[in-house]
Structure 1
């Protein structure tokens, strides 16, 4: 069997299979089963900027509205630090997971603008997070918001979070950048240690019967993997950042493809939601057998073997592949 040990963000992992951010991180028993089945690390679900800011503002409005009722009110109202404003329960859960699991636990922040919410990165570090995954999810809806301003705002967020902590920070991106390598260079310059490619968006749909917007969770499939493989293969050796593939990994072959493209680790969510923790054991065993079967004894030997720089026909990763596909569709 192939040696599956690896290092992600400076952390020693016994497996490249990582439980990605999902509702599973609220279920300690499920996470323990995932670790027993081969998970090398766990990523908690995100703390959202909107949630943190809204709860902070609500608490301040509550206090301030009463302070104005009496000149001496400030003397009998507690300070705002007495209130749990967004992160308290998350920090408790993080400490509980760190104490119960023998693999790294990675906290997650989701935000789009520099601001006070970023101070929670330091709280996550103090609570014992092994690393932070910064999830950038920013959709431009203002016509005045250009690609350049949006990307600069995101890079400012990355830099602000990195400056708050001494633990490593990875950045989870969407696939919708017109010049991904250039933006990734900016992420690296801002101090991040890793990339997670890519976000899966749960966009609203329209209920025609009720004329309302609805949200439904659609699990991924292996059909979503090639988008990730292309990005990782293109970036391998062109960035100093370690890379994780997230989305579309359901089989051992899927995981092997991600590693051969250049990924250091592979995040799994939908397969776990569909099958439970036993999916990790299945994927791990099949991945190891596949890599050993094609001649790789360690992950380091396999990583990047099919990247843009190393693939036997590297042009297949590029635009020429589109022309070939159109001509040979039938």
Structure 2
């Protein structure tokens, strides 16, 4: 692989999950993947891969149960119901629409298409993972999104259940498996190490949660999902700076990347790829092209021939002042609060 592309601009190619991507900019799981033409526009704008919107196991189960309830209600109404009520085995509610979307994307795009699965039970995860792999996905991203509501289930038990789920999927498919994590582990590096032991090829930090709010007028819980902002990026950078020193897995940054310099920060901390969704949904393919151009321009200004040369330069092991990533930095930040923002003279 040459260090420079033909016009002497920095080479953005990267390795992720064993896949060679033309760019570290990845379209994150979002409705963008539902439109093959839109996905193709993002590919032309510089996307190195696209992650499909998530297939939720609960949604499929609910659809299946709704069909069975409909059929059962007709059966109970009339002894001859079987003449007009379709037989349940003849109906397909096992993610067929999702698989068709995957096939359409593969036919339309030259970049890797990564499927996304958000499951809850070992059987469900394995079943849909196998079908997705058979349909030709380049890789599979598993979303570990547990909402712990039981006081009798410890954090260790939740983690053990998640590891079992992931291990069952990894053992059932031949394509690379990536796990999208939450930040809510007592030790993210230790959990990632356990994932690595069961055969996971990469992790994404971090999943963004659906966080309901309260409607004070109606006295009800209201669904709410806000777009990401750049304020979310530091949490990801810290995780990347640590994980890139403790793990050999492919690392992806998701959440808070809105520009080329944000992408550069993630790469400096150890990201092999950065995933974008909110800013792309708001601003379209032109924005991805701008991020692509700005990232390449930053690399050129710093004299890097490839994005790989900049990767992990500021992680926990290589940063000039390691305390910047530890509790000591927090102490120094508190001690300097009177100084105000950088550049402002203290009173």
Q: TM-score, normalised by structure 2?
A: 0.89
- The runs of 4+ residues in structure 1 deviating greater than 3 Å are 56-81
Greater Cα shift, 109-118 or 205-214: 109-118
- Equivalent residues in 2 for 1:53-92, closer than 5 Å: 53-60=61-68, 80-92=88-100
Alignment of structure 1 residues 139-158 onto 2, 5 Å: 139-158=147-166
What SS class does the counterpart of residue 245 from structure 2 fall into?
Answer: coil
Counterpart in the other structure of 2:58? 50
1:255 match: secondary structure: helix
How far 1:52 sits from its partner (Å)? 2.3
Q: Which residue of 2 aligns with 1:6?
A: 14
Change (3 A) 1:81 1:303: farther
Q: Which has the larger radius of gyration?
A: 2
Change beyond 3 A, Cα 1:177–1:302: same
CA 166–312 in structure 1, closer or farther in 2 if over 3 Å, else same: same
Determine which of 170, 188, 193 is the counterpart of 2:196: 188
Residue of structure 1 equivalent to 2:3: none
Distance 2:89 2:173 in 1: 21
Q: Do the aligned partners of residues 290 and 54 (structure 1) sit closer, same or farther apart at CA in structure 2, a change above 3 Å counting?
A: same
Contact 1:113 1:153 in 2 (8 A): no
Query: What count of residue pairs does the alignment treat as equivalent?
Result: 330
SS at match of 2:257: coil
| Contact persistence 1:109–1:132 (CA under 8 A) | yes
* Distance in 2, Cα, partners of 1:326 & 1:222: 22
- 8 Å contact 2:125–2:165 — kept in the other structure? no
Judged with a 3 Å threshold, the aligned counterparts in structure 2 of structure 1 residues 269 and 185 are, in CA distance, closer, same or farther, namely same
Query: Is contact 1:136–1:154 with CA below 8 Å preserved after alignment?
Result: yes
- Root mean square deviation, CA, Å: 2.2
Residue 290 of structure 2 corresponds to 282
Contact 2:212–2:225 (Cα < 8 Å) also in 1: no
Using the TM superposition, give the Cα deviation of residue 230 of structure 1 relative to its aligned residue in structure 2, in angstroms: 0.3
Q: Where does the alignment leave 5 or more consecutive residues of structure 1 unmatched?
A: none
TM-aligned CA deviation for residue 78 of structure 1: 7.1
Residue 63 of structure 1 deviates from its aligned partner by 6.0
CA drift at 1:27 = 2.1
Normalization by structure 1: what TM-score?
Answer: 0.93
> 1:112, CA displacement in angstroms?
3.2
What is the correspondence of 1:87-166 to structure 2 with a 5 Å cutoff? Answer: 87-166=95-174
C-alpha separation in 1, matches of 2:301 and 2:291: 15
CA distance in 1, matches of 2:124, 2:68: 14
Within 5 Å, which residues of 2 pair with 1:212-227? Answer: 212-227=220-235
Displacement after TM superposition at 1:188 (Å): 0.9
Residue ranges of structure 2 left out of the alignment (5+ in a row): 1-8, 341-347
Tell me if structure 2 keeps the 8 A contact 1:53–1:117.
Answer: no
